[in-house]
Amino acid sequence: MSHFSLKPFISAVFLLFAFSINLKAQDGAKIFKQNCAVCHSLTDQKLTGPGLLGVAGRVPKPETEWLSKWIKNNNKVIASGDAYAKSLVANNGGVDGMSEFEYLTDDELKSVVAYIIAPPAEVKPSASGSGEGGTTEEKTEEVKGAIDPLYLLLGSIVLLAIIVGALRSVRHSLANSFNKKEGKPEVPEMTFVEEVKHWMGSHRRLVGVCVIIILFIGMKSCWNACYNLGVYYDYKTQKGYQPPQPIKFSHKLHAGDNEIACQYCHNSVEKSKHAGIPSVNVCMNCHKAIQKGPKYGEKEIAKIYEASGFDPKTGNYTNPQNPIKWIKIHNLPDHVYFNHKQHVVVGKQDCANCHGKVKEMEVVQQQSPLTMKWCIECHRKTEVAMEGNAYYDKIHKALKEKYKGQHDVKLTVEKIGGLECAKCHY
């Protein structure tokens, strides 16, 4: 996928084309987002192409017809000797950089032109994200008003304590009044602690057993906790580490809705042990043009500009650069060597096998425990694709010889030494 980084704009447009095929013909907003918004905004702001606010007033009349022709094939319009078209090219320094959109049907053209001329006021002019994206985003929010069981427990304890206190004083006064009646000496009022000590003194065996049980439970839970030290994954809830990131970057929007391939941003995954956090210039391939997001508007994208030193007003990189400090989610200890290239290129593993459905995550969460047990389980059951790779020819032959006559033998990673210590620890 490395060619993407070489021709970022073309590929960005290409990507947008790729998922424009299934769109409904009448949806002008959608067509605009998929095709035009990379270079044009609906305000007066200039991106790669001019801002389209008031475009209807600028172009020759009838504006709908002219715009349709221009969008469909602007080069034809220029070739036809159209004066306004020529002036546009001249104003742009003699360069006409706009793509041709021959594949748009007349209906589609009509709807997109209508959208450009009169965009609905409530639709935020944004370039990315389909309409459906926004509606499902809220469902992960917790139900408001539910009371945390911890508070319930604490409340009931307080309540019980009050009741016990009241009952104690009642009992004490009753006992004393009884004693008074009987003529016995009055029992001095004991403090709560004294009373507990008194009680414990008279129930030693029970107290001892309880202490032992509590100690045992405590130690066992400490032991269990130790096992999970440094493990960010909760086996019970199937949930993992999900720290807030400095930029509210949505994988759902980028990888899910817009179907940008993982390797477009994590482009060293096939070359290196690291998949790679994209450098800011990769973000800028698209975000130079896309300056507003569907959810947070300009706020989050502005952080990319701050990092890259980009000045959206002038379109130049004039400001100081500030690298983005992302929080690393998938942490392996230092003594583990893991190589993405080995797993993705040779092992042909899909990203989702370890990282889960990142395409559905607003905020990325660790989806696999990343413990040694988890690694080993996978190495035990994953078969190695030996056919067609000459590297494996020798061991394939040897393994075939070894398991001759046996059925259901899987040539797993384990069988070629994938459980040995020095495969991951050195």
Partner 1 sequence: MSKKYWKGLPELNNSEAFVQSKNNEFAENLPMEDFLTGDDAKTNGTSRRDFLKVMGFSTAAVALAACETPVNKAIPYVVKPEEVTPGVANFYASTFYDGHDYASILVKTREGRPIKIEGNDLSKVSNGATSARVQSSVLSLYDGARLTGPLAKGQLTTWKNVDDAVVKSISVGQAVILSSTIISPSTKAVIAEFTSKYPNAKHVTYDAVSYSALIRANKNVFGKSVVSSYDFSKAKTIVGIACDFLGTWLNPIEFANQYSKTRKVNRENLEMSKHYHFEANLSLTGANADERYMVKPSEFGKVISSLYNEVAKATGNSKVSEGKISNSAASKAISKAAKELVENKGKSIVVCGYNDEACQTLVNGINKMLGNYGKTVDVDLHFNLKQGNDKDFIDLVADMNAGKVGTLMTYNCNPVYTTPASLKFEAAYKKIATKVSFSQSLDETSLLADYVCPDNNFLESWGDANPKRGHYSLQQPTINQIFRAPRYEGTRQVQDTLLKWSGIKTDYLAYLQGYWNNHVFPQQGKYSDFASFWAHTLHDGVLKVSVVKDIPFTPVKVDSTGKIETTGVASAISDSLTSDVNSNVGFIKTITLLGATEATVISVDYNKFANTATSSKGGEFELVVYEKVGLGNGTQSNNPWLMELPDPISKVTWDNYITMSPADVAKLGLNEMKRQDIIGSIAELTVNGTTIKVPVYPQPGQTEGTIGLAIGYGRQASSMKVAFGVGQNAYPFVSISNNTFTNSNLSVSVKATKEEHKFAATQIHHTIMGREEYLLREVSLKEYKNKEKEIWNPIAALPAHGGGKTPIAEVDLWADHPRMNHKWGLTIDMTSCIGCAACVVACTVENNVHVVGKEEVGKTREMHWLRIDRYYTSDMNKDKAQEEHIGTKQMYLDMENPSNNPTVTFQPMMCQHCNHAPCETVCPVLATSHSSEGLNMMTYNRCIGTRYCANNCPFKVRRFNWFNYIDNTDFADVNPAQQDLGRMVLNPDVVVRSRGVMEKCSMCVQRIQAGKLVAKTEKMPIVDGAIKTACQQACPTNAIMFGDANDETAEISKWRCDDKNYVLLEEVGIKPTVSYLLKVRNQEEEMHTHASHVAPTGEAHKEEHHS
- Residues lying near partner 1 in the complex (CB under 8 A): 225, 229-230, 232, 243, 268, 271-274, 276-282, 307-309, 321-328, 331, 333-335, 337, 339, 341-342, 345-346, 388-395, 398-399, 402, 416-417, 420-423, 425-426
275 in Cβ contact with 269 (< 8 Å):
yes
Orientation of helix 280-287 relative to helix 298-308, angle to 10°: 130
- Please list, residue by residue across 178-199, b when 16 or more beta carbons sit within 10 angstroms of its beta carbon and e when fewer do: eeeeeeeeeeeeeeeeeeeeee
116 in Cβ contact with 32 (< 8 Å):
yes
Nearest partner of 411 among 402, 399, 401, 398, judged by Cα: 399
CB of 327 to partner 1, least distance (A): 6
CB of 141 to partner 1, least distance (A): 25
- Residue 234 three-state SS: strand
Q: Is 84 left (phi over 0), alpha (psi -120 to 50) or beta?
A: alpha
CB of 92 to partner 1, least distance (A): 27
CA distance linking residue 150 with residue 131, whole number of Å:
40
CA distance linking residue 131 with residue 30, whole number of Å:
8
CA distance linking residue 94 with residue 128, whole number of Å:
30
CB of 308 to partner 1, least distance (A): 6
Q: Which is nearer to partner 1, 129 or 369 (CB)?
A: 369
CA distance linking residue 382 with residue 122, whole number of Å:
51
CB of 333 to partner 1, least distance (A): 7
Q: How much is the CA Rg of the chain, to the nearest whole Å?
A: 34
CB of 4 to partner 1, least distance (A): 13
CB of 226 to partner 1, least distance (A): 9
CB of 420 to partner 1, least distance (A): 5
Q: Which is nearer to partner 1, 193 or 390 (CB)?
A: 390
CA distance linking residue 316 with residue 309, whole number of Å:
8
Return the DSSP state at 283.
Answer: H
Q: Which is nearer to partner 1, 89 or 231 (CB)?
A: 231
Q: Which is nearer to partner 1, 185 or 388 (CB)?
A: 388
Q: Which is nearer to partner 1, 282 or 378 (CB)?
A: 282
- Please list, residue by residue across 103-136, b when 16 or more beta carbons sit within 10 angstroms of its beta carbon and e when fewer do: ebeeebbbbbbebbbebeeeeebbbbbbeebeee
Q: Which is nearer to partner 1, 197 or 397 (CB)?
A: 397
Q: Which is nearer to partner 1, 221 or 272 (CB)?
A: 272
Q: Which is nearer to partner 1, 83 or 390 (CB)?
A: 390
CB of 415 to partner 1, least distance (A): 9
What are the DSSP calls for 331-355, one per residue?
---TT----HHIIIIIS---HHHHH
Q: Which is nearer to partner 1, 66 or 233 (CB)?
A: 233
